[in-house]
Structure 1
Amino acid sequence: MSSLLKVMLMSFLISSSLAYLDIKDFGEPMRKAAEECHDICTDVTGTTDEQVQQIREGNFIDDEKMKRYILCLWRVAGYMDRNLKINVAKVRQVLPQELIDSGCHSAAVKCLNEARNSGLKENYEKIYELEKCLYKIDPQKFVMF
């Protein structure tokens, strides 16, 4: 799978959706998995639904629990390993065609590379920077579970 799909997942897969992209576009298996990951990660990190909603709306609060929640989503879903490497096979299974066709892949790859090479020490900080960058690519297609 190309870097396009790797990064498209990174950018759009971690949460219930905003704007024109709806969770139903991901299909029933993805919806169920997203709900399960959300429940696990809110329990583990102590993040509230209100905090998650702020991110969905583009308000990236500076909160360690929220940053850890986003990393948790990526990891629990199995879309990324501890070294921030994408599980291409899993991404391919759930990515809606609309995202593949959207043309945002180059910018998403750039976001991923910038996050990996940001100099930030903790992976939860890197992933949070990735999410902010992905939101900026196209807020209307940003997905947050």
Structure 2
Amino acid sequence: MKLILFIAVVSFSSVYGLLRDEHYGDFFLNVARQLHNKCVPITGVTQDKIDGLKNGVFADDEKLKRYVLCLWIVSEEMNPDLSMHMEKLTKAMPKKITNGVKMYMDCAKEAERSGITEPHERVYKMVKCYYDADPENFIMF
């Protein structure tokens, strides 16, 4: 079940990034809610910060950055060593986003090359890179 999520992820609560709910099935939305509900108490992030991120506001907030990392790790689309699960990411990516996996992989490499060593900072940079490259298809929950 967890492999259906990306972000992110893809990052997604009751509002899901810039893509609308109709781009996902009930199963995906249910998994997204579960991940959100798991990662919010772990990180202590506020819903306001998450809502801002959904709208492209990348606040310099440690709890928000840790929330994004949590989504990726708990969804199992990323390992604790920050390597990506290509197969899981591919399965989770909405069909509407034809180049999303490649973009995330490119952004992950860019974040790695940046020299950032803190996992939450590096994953946040990766997600910001994806947003900057394709804000219309950004997913956050």
TM-score, normalised with respect to structure 1: 0.82
Provide the C-alpha distance between the structure 2 equivalents of 1:45 and 1:66, rounded to a whole number of angstroms: 8
Q: How far is 1:58 from its partner?
A: 1.0
The answer (yes or no) to whether the contact 2:9–2:72 under 8 Å persists in 1 is: no
* Paired position in structure 2 for 1:124: 120
Alignment of 1:1-145 (within 5 A): 9=6, 13-15=10-12, 16-19=15-18, 21-100=19-98, 103=99, 106-145=102-141
The alignment's C-alpha RMSD in Å is 1.9
Provide the C-alpha distance between the structure 2 equivalents of 1:96 and 1:82, rounded to a whole number of angstroms: 24
Unpaired segments of 5 or more residues in structure 1?
A: 1-8
Between Structure 1 and Structure 2, which shows a larger proportion of helix residues? 1
The answer (yes or no) to whether the contact 2:17–2:139 under 8 Å persists in 1 is: yes
Count how many residue pairs are aligned between Structure 1 and Structure 2: 134
TM-score, normalised with respect to structure 2: 0.84
Provide the C-alpha distance between the structure 2 equivalents of 1:34 and 1:107, rounded to a whole number of angstroms: 21
The answer (yes or no) to whether the contact 1:111–1:134 under 8 Å persists in 2 is: yes
Provide the C-alpha distance between the structure 1 equivalents of 2:31 and 2:48, rounded to a whole number of angstroms: 20
Provide the C-alpha distance between the structure 2 equivalents of 1:12 and 1:45, rounded to a whole number of angstroms: 16
What is the CA deviation profile of residues 33-58 of structure 1, one whole-angstrom value per residue up to 9, with x for unaligned ones? Answer: 11011011110000011110111111
Report the secondary structure of 1:133's partner residue: helix
> Could you list the runs of 4 or more consecutive aligned residues of structure 1 that deviate by over 6 angstroms after TM superposition?
none
Work out which structure has the larger RCO, using CA pairs closer than 8 Å and 6 or more positions apart in sequence: 1
Unpaired segments of 5 or more residues in structure 2?
A: 1-5
